[in-house]
Amino acid sequence: FGVVGCSNSNGEEAKDSKIAYVITGTLGDEGFFDSGYEGLGQAKEEFEAQEVKSIESFDPVDWEPNLRNAAQAGYDLIYAGGTPMKDYVAKLAPQFPDLHFVLFDGKITDIENVISVEYGEEQGAYVAGVLAALMTTETDIEGINPEKKVGFIGGMDIAVGQNWLNGFKQGVAAVDPEIEVLSAFAGDFGDPAKGKELALAQYEQGADVILHGAGDTGLGVLEAAKVSGHYAIGSDADQDGLQPGHVLTSVMKRVDNSLYNVAEMHYTDKWEGGQTFMYNIENDGVVLTDMSTIGDKVPEAVREKVQSTIDDIKSGKIEVERIR
């Protein structure tokens, strides 16, 4: 299965190639979409593509037209993310069989010009749950209260959000089933004000550590952690430095690496159409930061337990349930 203009990584034809990045949000999220765009920038340089065009919108009305416009404009490698793009890729990819489509944060099988990329956010959330549960009992630490409560805030209540929440709950329960997990979905990935409002409410209810899996909305969660004097856990990219001293760690999806890897398949004639590639804790496709920014607020015993949890997921000793 070949695509015109992508004969090899060094050929002149690759220089005529154009990459489209069609997303259900905007750049500047300090997370998921920024990470993916960084990976495509590396691919552009490595394979000498002509351009990487970002086509952005939070409005669902725009998503299908944006994807169709990219195909009609001759972009030969089209990335579509996140999860809500699935139906549009499934509809449009067969209409443009000479183009390559990449659905990231979703899964489509058996369409030869589509590769899907998924992320094991539930595994990362599990580790975050272990961290949150251990920290909420460290009452000697400033910002940790006596109540056994932690929180989660998601963007849209869809499968990926439920994966975050379910993984987090499993991790918390593995440490102490009596710890209460407060949870809320903002209904939007692009509303930091709503994220801050929901987080402040959870802190007021007694949570002292909140994980977010909420895109741009989560930036408000991090701000609320600082304002309230408590803690948050970032997601998708390294967000530890956004509110220093109040972000324990970040559960990073290596979106950059995953999208670069598919570009490499495209440009080296190693396209594996119809396949889905999973990036998770087991293969370092989901990782946590080293917690160097938060420093000694996280005790060494807690750090050791977090690392042993990661090791146990990698070895198969711990199996984390996945919603989808």
Predicted confidence (pLDDT) per residue in 66-104, tens digit: 999 999 999 999 999 989 999 999 999 999 999 999 999
Q: Which of 221, 145, 147, 216 is nearest to 184 (CA)?
A: 221
- pLDDT above 70 coverage of the chain, percent: 95
Q: How many residues does the chain have?
A: 324
Give the per-residue pLDDT at 68. 98
Rg (CA), the chain: 20
Distance CA(176)–CA(170), nearest Å, equals 10
- Average pLDDT on 208-236 reads 97
H runs (alpha helix) in 189-236:
192-204, 217-228
The reply to whether 52 falls in a domain is: yes
Asked if 163 and 324 count as a contact pair (C-beta separation under 8 A), the reply is yes
The reply to whether 62 falls in a domain is: yes
In which band, very low, low, confident or very high, does the pLDDT at 259 lie, cut at 50, 70 and 90? very high
Distance CA(255)–CA(238), nearest Å, equals 12
Q: Which of 192, 171, 162, 231 is nearest to 183 (CA)?
A: 162
Residue 114 structure tokens: 């589509």
Asked if 310 and 127 count as a contact pair (C-beta separation under 8 A), the reply is yes
The reply to whether 2 falls in a domain is: no
What 3-state DSSP class applies to 173? Answer: helix
| Enclosing domain of residue 235 | 121-252+294-315
The reply to whether 165 falls in a domain is: yes
Residue 237 vs residues 88, 199, 252, 261: alpha-carbon distances, Å: 26, 20, 5, 18
CB neighbour list of residue 318: distance below 8 Å, 6 or more residues apart: 126, 174, 309, 312
Phi, psi of 135 (to 5 degrees): -70, -35
Whether 8 has a pLDDT exceeding 60, the answer reads no
Q: Are residues 130 and 96 in the same domain?
A: no
pLDDT in tens, 246-258: 999 999 999 999 9
Q: Are residues 223 and 148 in the same domain?
A: yes
Whether 189 has a pLDDT exceeding 50, the answer reads yes
Q: Are residues 145 and 232 in the same domain?
A: yes
Whether 284 has a pLDDT exceeding 60, the answer reads yes
Q: At which residue do the structure tokens 């220093």 appear?
A: 244
Lowest mean pLDDT among 9-13, 139-143, 303-307, 312-316: 9-13
Whether 152 has a pLDDT exceeding 50, the answer reads yes
Q: In 10 A of CB 146, how many CB atoms?
A: 10
Q: Are residues 196 and 245 in the same domain?
A: yes
| Average confidence score pLDDT of the chain | 94
User: Cα 218 to chain center, whole Å?
Assistant: 12
Give the per-residue pLDDT at 323. 85
In which band, very low, low, confident or very high, does the pLDDT at 302 lie, cut at 50, 70 and 90? very high
Asked if 211 and 232 count as a contact pair (C-beta separation under 8 A), the reply is yes
0.95 exceeded by the pTM? no
The reply to whether 323 falls in a domain is: no
Q: Which of 238, 257, 275, 283 is nearest to 36 (CA)?
A: 257
- Average pLDDT on 34-63 reads 97
Q: Are residues 22 and 78 in the same domain?
A: yes
Give the per-residue pLDDT at 3. 33
Parallel/antiparallel/unpaired status of strands 247-253 and 286-288: antiparallel
Sheet holding 180-185, edge to edge: 180-185, 149-154, 209-213, 231-236, 247-253, 286-288
pLDDT in tens, 159-182: 999 999 999 999 999 999 999 999
Give the per-residue pLDDT at 13. 57
Q: Are residues 243 and 136 in the same domain?
A: yes
The reply to whether 322 falls in a domain is: no
Residue 77 structure tokens: 């490698």
In which band, very low, low, confident or very high, does the pLDDT at 11 lie, cut at 50, 70 and 90? very low
Distance CA(313)–CA(305), nearest Å, equals 12
Q: How many domains would you assign to the chain?
A: 2
Q: Are residues 114 and 127 in the same domain?
A: no
Give the per-residue pLDDT at 7. 41
Distance CA(192)–CA(265), nearest Å, equals 36
Q: Are residues 38 and 98 in the same domain?
A: yes
Q: Are residues 158 and 104 in the same domain?
A: no
Interior angle at CA 187, CA 80 and CA 231, nearest 5? 100
Sheet holding 18-23, edge to edge: 51-56, 18-23, 77-81, 100-104, 114-119, 276-279
Give the per-residue pLDDT at 160. 92
Whether 32 has a pLDDT exceeding 60, the answer reads yes
Distance CA(247)–CA(28), nearest Å, equals 19
Q: What is the CATH number of the domain that holds 151?
A: 3.40.50.2300
